[in-house]
Amino acid sequence: MKEYSYFDGIQFLKEVTEKLKNRIEEIEQTLSEGQREIASIQEYYWENYAEMDQYGYEEYDNQQALFSQINTNQEKLLLKQRFEKMYREPFFGRVDFLFQGESEKEPFYIGIGNFALRAGMTPLIYDWRAPVCSLFYDADNGDAAYEAPSGTVKGRVCAKWQYKIRNGKMIYAFECDTKIDDEILQQELGQNGDIRLKNIVRTIQKEQNAIIRNLNDKILVIQGAAGSGKTSIALHRIAYLLYHDRKNLKSSNILILSPNSVFADYISHILPELGEENIQEMSFDVFAYHELKDIAEDCEDKYQDLERRMKYPDCVQADTFNSKQSAQFAGEIEGFLAVLEDELMEFKEITFKGMKLTEEELIRLFYFKFQDTPLLERMDAVMEYFVDSYETLYSRDISDEEKDYLKRKFDALYMTKDIYEIYNRLLAWCGMDTLPEVPYERRKLCYEDVYPMLYLKYRLKKKNVHKNIKHLVIDEMQDYSYIQYLILHRLFSCRMTILGDKAQTLGTEPQDVLKFFTKIFGKKYRSIEIKKSYRNTVEIAKFAERISGITDLELFHRHGKEVDEQQFQTEKELLDMILKNVSIGEDTYETAAILTMTEGEAWHLFSLLKKWNVHVNYVDRNSSTFQKGLTVTTFYLAKGLEFDQVFAVLNDDKNPLYKQAAYICATRALHELYMYQTGEQR
């Protein structure tokens, strides 16, 4: 590439797209050759397998060659796909930097990934995560520095440029001075809502970049207002960490706890867009359900609990729920366990084929030798000790049938090993109402009991510490209780990114989890608060402020329609108005949502619209995809999502969660918000 074109964005684009096109063609040629090689290996095998050596060496070599070529082709295909994306938009920014001690500035073009003419050569385009690219997000024109693997690199930023490229064509190019230009941000944020969360590499702000590139803090807590980009920041942070530490951190080492499957689908494309493999996702409620499957047939999840609390707003029940999730209750569990050791056991002499363990020996082994073994597995350890002693003394192995016999004898020393029964003992010990004494197949745990029982199980039995997980992402942190965090801390000893907004707590009052984080995590975490909201127009954001009472947010100045508040006499009038105002199509919006308080209300409105032959999507807690068009769902399932238009239908202002629902609905809207009610109560 000719040197003069480096500082001419349009000429550089022309030349770099030509080189990308050539690389894509080269890869396509290599892929074709690879496919022919695979076909040749397979043909050779089928023609000669009957004559291959009897020891299988030739067959093994053939298979290894086949697997190697398939893997090579897969890698080439992924590279081709990345370069095809880059061909459409090779870069979005540029920094001209004069290194200290040098006389000529050097341009650094910034894109979604690296591109060099050949491996090992200086990139023509730098990955946005490369150390030098931090200058684009952080530095003003003038003296500046960035951190590289070799140490601090000093110099001077001479210019910064922003570009918009679509399908290989330059839309605009202009020089900017101190920050990502507000006009560009306005344009990006003013676009219609996608059916997926957007990546933010073109518009990362200085304070966001500091969070994304943070490598120092083991646990980073992001407390951010609705629409502040918390989830985007967390995902871009994961992409940065994967880029920074490829030797030790893989996508398989990262887990995100997401609120539901729809949200997981909504964010699932971000990491692949940023050049990384997708990461594991899990709902903590689903995890708990599987962990308790040996104790109870079924468990409530968070959303079933919400529905019940809205239908039967009993403050006593809410108080019981809160008390069972508290630090105080966790302490009561520990006190109960100290007493349980004595109450749960009935020691009796164990005899087996001439060998015995006296009551005194059992007590000594149980309380002293194996005191660090969890209570319900302690007798297993004592039994293994007994078996080892017998086999050593008599020089013979005990059969599996004999071991089963011994296990029954040792297990009989427990009054019970049923954690459900033990949990009931705990409740009685604490002066609380106990659960129904029913057989396994009739046990369904209320949500308030799920995590206390899971914590009790982990204290009574060994837990699986997930050592393969090196980074845990917890979204919607405000909806996790003290007991839940206590469990997570015991299960995961890794680095964490924790994010949420206390104003969006799914409860009657906001929950600030930071009040008890120190008790659980010690001082190993750093908290960062983001007070700037980017999602909503000023009109919508001001409306949300009046609901929440939060007045210290910094609003991004993007204006739109005033919020439309109306009350209707009938559902027909309501739906007629929604259909009049909804604007979905190629030249209008991509997404709109009708949000209700309860699942029953959502299903009712969805059913009416379907009868009217309206194309509409329905999302409940079993849904797994987020789709464009008009969607009907509840306010709580809409958390974390955003829509071009939101129609909130909240009829029951006596509902204890009405205020939270109204706030969450309002903050989902990108461009237009409609707050509707009907006179019909359901």
Which of 513, 528, 470 lies closest to 238, judged by CA?
A: 470
> Can you tell me the mean pLDDT for 73-84?
89
Helix axes 315-324, 302-311, angle to 10 degrees: 150
Compute φ and ψ for 591, nearest 5 degrees. -135, 145
Q: Which residue has the higher pLDDT, 279 or 292?
A: 292
Q: What is the pLDDT of residue 681?
A: 53
Give the H or E element holding residue 57.
Answer: helix 57-88
Q: Which residue has the higher pLDDT, 319 or 456?
A: 456
> Can you tell me the mean pLDDT for 673-679?
92
From CA 546, how far away is CA 531, in angstroms rounded? Answer: 16
Residue 98 has pLDDT above 90, yes or no: yes
Residue 497 has pLDDT above 80, yes or no: yes
Q: What distance lies between CA 610 and its chain's CA centroid?
A: 33
Q: What is the pLDDT of residue 351?
A: 94
Among 91-105, 167-181, 654-668, whose mean pLDDT is lowest? 167-181
DSSP 424-451: HHHHHHTT-PPPP---GGG-EE-HHHHH
From CA 246, how far away is CA 251, in angstroms rounded? Answer: 10
Among 150-159, 392-401, 459-468, whose mean pLDDT is lowest? 459-468
The per-residue pLDDT for range 377-419, each reduced to its tens digit, is 999 999 999 999 999 999 999 999 999 999 999 999 999 999 9
Q: What is the pLDDT of residue 192?
A: 58
Fill in the DSSP letter of residue 589: B
Residue 65 confidence class, pLDDT cut points 50, 70, 90: confident
From CA 445, how far away is CA 321, in angstroms rounded? Answer: 13
Q: What is the pLDDT of residue 178?
A: 46
Q: Which residue has the higher pLDDT, 521 or 272?
A: 521
The per-residue pLDDT for range 159-199, each reduced to its tens digit, is 999 999 999 999 989 887 645 545 565 565 555 555 567 78
> Can you tell me the mean pLDDT for 239-249?
93
Strand segments, DSSP code E, in 345-390 are: 350-352, 355-357
**CA separation (Å) from 200 to 164, 210, 235?**
14, 14, 10
Q: What is the pLDDT of residue 177?
A: 64
Fill in the DSSP letter of residue 6: G
Residue 78 has pLDDT above 60, yes or no: yes
Give the H or E element holding residue 249.
Answer: none
From CA 249, how far away is CA 570, in angstroms rounded? Answer: 57
Q: What is the pLDDT of residue 309?
A: 87
Residue 55 has pLDDT above 70, yes or no: no
Q: What is the pLDDT of residue 202?
A: 83
Q: How many helices and strands, by DSSP H and E, does the chain display?
A: 23, 24
Residue 243 has pLDDT above 70, yes or no: yes
> Can you tell me the mean pLDDT for 204-219?
92
Q: Which residue has the higher pLDDT, 178 or 113?
A: 113
Q: What is the pLDDT of residue 316?
A: 63
The per-residue pLDDT for range 608-631, each reduced to its tens digit, is 999 999 999 999 999 989 899 999
User: What pTM did the predictor assign?
Assistant: 0.88
Among 55-64, 168-177, 186-195, 228-237, whose mean pLDDT is lowest? 186-195
Asked if 662 contacts 617 with a C-beta cutoff of 8 angstroms, the reply is no
Residue 126: Cβ-neighbour burial (10 angstroms; 0-12, 13-18, 19+):
buried
> Can you tell me the mean pLDDT for 493-519?
92
The per-residue pLDDT for range 292-344, each reduced to its tens digit, is 999 999 999 999 999 998 988 876 677 888 999 999 999 999 999 999 998 99
Residue 23 confidence class, pLDDT cut points 50, 70, 90: very high
The per-residue pLDDT for range 567-591, each reduced to its tens digit, is 999 999 999 999 999 999 878 999 9
Q: Which residue has the higher pLDDT, 43 or 426?
A: 426
Angle at CA 80, nearest 5°, toward 79 and 85? 100
Mean pLDDT computed over every residue of the chain: 91
Q: What is the pLDDT of residue 463?
A: 80
Q: What is the pLDDT of residue 193?
A: 53
